[in-house]
């Protein structure tokens, strides 16, 4: 009985000690999606400058999320490619094309599972 109690206590302690890691991982993906959504919205409104900044912010968070999750690399790599395209098009003043790439990036972020 004592061994079971120690095992349960150790498991609970491990969860509490790692909970900040899990929260931080979800934070990068959440931030990346939030900024990609804003990039898409600004792109659709023709606000290329604002779309550019949000796409850059999303890219930074997407790269951090990718680095934190080896298993999610495939989708985060695809998200990063689309965010880079979003930035390129927003920089050229192509708001609608930038928005399309931001939308695709968000799809891949969702599929990454984080």
Q: pLDDT tens digit string along 97-110?
A: 999 999 999 998 88
14-to-4, 8, 30, 68, 108 alpha-carbon distances in Å: 15, 10, 24, 19, 31
User: Model pTM greater than 0.85?
Assistant: no
pLDDT score of 6 more than 60: no
Query: Which two tokens mark 10?
Result: 């150790």
Report residue 65's pLDDT band, with 50, 70 and 90 as the boundaries: confident
Report the CATH fold assignment for 21-111. Answer: 1.20.120
The C-alpha atoms of residue 93 and residue 16 are separated, in whole angstroms, by: 47
Total Cβ atoms within 10 A of residue 41: 15
What confidence category does residue 38 fall into, taking pLDDT thresholds of 50, 70 and 90?
very high
Task: Say yes or no to pLDDT of 23 above 50.
Answer: no
Tokens of 106: 């968000």
Q: Where are the domains of the chain?
A: 21-111
**pLDDT digit string (tens) for 8-20?**
444 444 444 444 4
Q: State whether the Cα torsion 87-96-45-111 is positive or negative.
A: negative
């Amino acid at each position: 009985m004592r061994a079971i109690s120690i095992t349960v206590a150790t498991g609970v302690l491990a969860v509490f000690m790692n909970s900040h890691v899990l929260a931080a991982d979800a934070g990068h993906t959440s931030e990346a999606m939030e900024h990609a959504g804003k990039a898409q919205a600004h792109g659709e409104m023709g606000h290329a400058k604002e779309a550019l900044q949000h796409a850059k912010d999303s890219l930074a968070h997407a790269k951090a999320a990718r680095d934190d999750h080896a298993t999610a690399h495939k989708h985060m790599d695809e998200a990063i490619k689309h965010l880079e395209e979003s930035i390129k098009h927003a920089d050229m003043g192509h708001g609608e094309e930038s928005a399309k790439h931001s939308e695709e990036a968000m799809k891949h972020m969702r599929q990454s599972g984080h």
